[in-house]
């Protein structure tokens, strides 16, 4: 009896002890760590930007189920909007620059921090595949313009005309005024960025775009730039961007989101803080009237988040629990504010 009472007392004290310690640690790094460790999120998780992310997620998930590597799943996933002429912001059918040329940017990164990227690539429908080839088959991380194209051709890619009749018409219409004031959420903000955490908890990401419509010939945005349009650190998390590339480059957007997660901000908090920073740095800037930026993020625990400057941005999320669906992204400014 005595023994039993002593045992119960010990257990009770033990319980008090743990909760007291947790109370003392509350808000401290240690308490947050305890909370993070205890939260179980079923992996894999895929998150992609915009509505075309749904079809991309679907394909990437299928590939993962069939045993493809995460990078191959990303390539196949974002390859869907790249090949879709109805998607006017990525790959084939992308809106051209002001000279009527479709120029493409893409990058990819794995959990070992290997990356490959192409920028200002013309005539090749799937820049994400070329980016993966840069990662796999070259000693470099980035190839641009004619060099990127020559590399693609040497890898067996075929040159194609990527300017669809619809995009040509839109360009001709634009030429009449030739004014570069991108329309928020329509003309310059539809890059597909995809982040994946696999079953083993490893992170990867990819990003592909035709960039801002009616840009100057030779302009490269954030999307192919590791640290701006995409970044990940497999110890911490991954982040990717969409929106006005100039603003994302100025602030090293995706790298900063990852650094904020390293400081134990949640993916949502990290995305929000960077959007706030971009807003503060641009509120008196000439780009402000058409500035839109949005981020998606995924941490090592499989928690995801997003945030944008203006309403209208959304993302597609796929996990085991809820399947593939669109999620609304919280914004700093709602539609009636702009």
Q: Binding residues for ligand ASP, per CB under 6 A?
A: 89, 188-191, 209, 211-212, 221-223, 242-245
Nearer Cβ to ligand ASP, position 190 or 198?
190
Runs of H (alpha helix) within 218-331: 245-250, 253-262, 267-282
Query: What is the Cα–Cα distance from 163 to 21, expressed in whole angstroms?
Result: 63
- What is the greatest pairwise CA distance in the chain? 94
Q: How far is the CB of 290 from ligand ASP (least distance, A)?
A: 11
Nearer Cβ to ligand ASP, position 198 or 222?
222
Instruction: Give yes or no for a contact between 248 and 209, defined as CB atoms under 8 angstroms apart.
Output: no
Helix (H) or strand (E) holding 4: helix 2-25
Nearer Cβ to ligand ASP, position 60 or 95?
95
Rg of the chain over all Cα atoms, to the nearest angstrom: 22
Alpha-carbon separation of residue 255 from 58, 260, 274, 284 (angstroms): 27, 9, 10, 24
Catalytic position from the list 49, 103, 164, 191: 191
C-alpha 6 chain-centroid distance: 56
Instruction: Give yes or no for a contact between 301 and 322, defined as CB atoms under 8 angstroms apart.
Output: no
DSSP type of residue 45: E
Q: How far is the CB of 95 from ligand ASP (least distance, A)?
A: 10
Nearer Cβ to ligand ASP, position 57 or 210?
210
Q: How far is the CB of 20 from ligand ASP (least distance, A)?
A: 49
Q: How far is the CB of 244 from ligand ASP (least distance, A)?
A: 6
Query: What is the Cα–Cα distance from 189 to 201, expressed in whole angstroms?
Result: 30
* Annotation marks residue 103 as catalytic: no
Residues with a known catalytic role: 191
């Amino acid at each position: 009896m005595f023994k039993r009472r002593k045992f119960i007392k010990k257990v009770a004290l033990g319980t008090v002890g743990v909760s007291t310690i947790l109370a003392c640690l509350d808000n401290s790094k240690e308490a947050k760590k305890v909370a993070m460790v205890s939260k179980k999120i079923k992996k894999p998780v895929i998150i992609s930007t915009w509505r075309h992310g749904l079809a991309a997620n679907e394909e990437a998930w299928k590939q993962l189920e069939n045993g493809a590597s995460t990078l191959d799943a990303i390539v196949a996933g974002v390859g869907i909007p790249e090949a879709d002429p109805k998607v006017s912001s990525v790959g084939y059918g992308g809106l051209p620059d002001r000279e009527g040329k479709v120029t493409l940017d893409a990058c990819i990164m794995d959990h070992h921090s290997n990356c490959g990227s192409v920028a200002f690539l013309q005539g090749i429908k799937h820049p994400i595949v070329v980016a993966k080839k840069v990662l796999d088959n070259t000693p470099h991380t980035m190839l641009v313009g004619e060099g990127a194209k020559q590399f693609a051709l040497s890898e067996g890619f075929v040159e194609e005309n990527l300017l669809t009749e619809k995009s040509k018409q839109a360009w001709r219409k634009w030429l009449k005024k030739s004014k570069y004031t991108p329309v928020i959420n329509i003309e310059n903000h539809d890059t597909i960025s995809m982040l994946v955490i696999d079953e083993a908890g490893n992170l990867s990401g990819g990003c592909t775009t035709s960039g801002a419509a009616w840009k100057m010939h030779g302009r490269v945005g954030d999307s192919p730039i590791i640290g701006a349009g995409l970044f990940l650190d497999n110890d911490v998390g991954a982040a990717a961007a969409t929106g006005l590339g100039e603003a994302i480059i100025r602030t090293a957007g995706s790298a900063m989101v990852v650094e904020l997660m390293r400081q134990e901000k949640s993916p949502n908090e990290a995305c929000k803080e960077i959007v706030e920073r971009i807003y503060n740095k641009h509120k008196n800037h000439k780009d402000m009237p058409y500035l839109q930026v949005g981020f998606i993020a995924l941490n090592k625990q499989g928690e995801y988040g997003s945030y944008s400057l203006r309403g209208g941005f959304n993302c597609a999320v796929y996990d085991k629990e809820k399947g593939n669906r669109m999620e609304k992204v919280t914004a700093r400014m709602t539609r009636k504010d702009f």
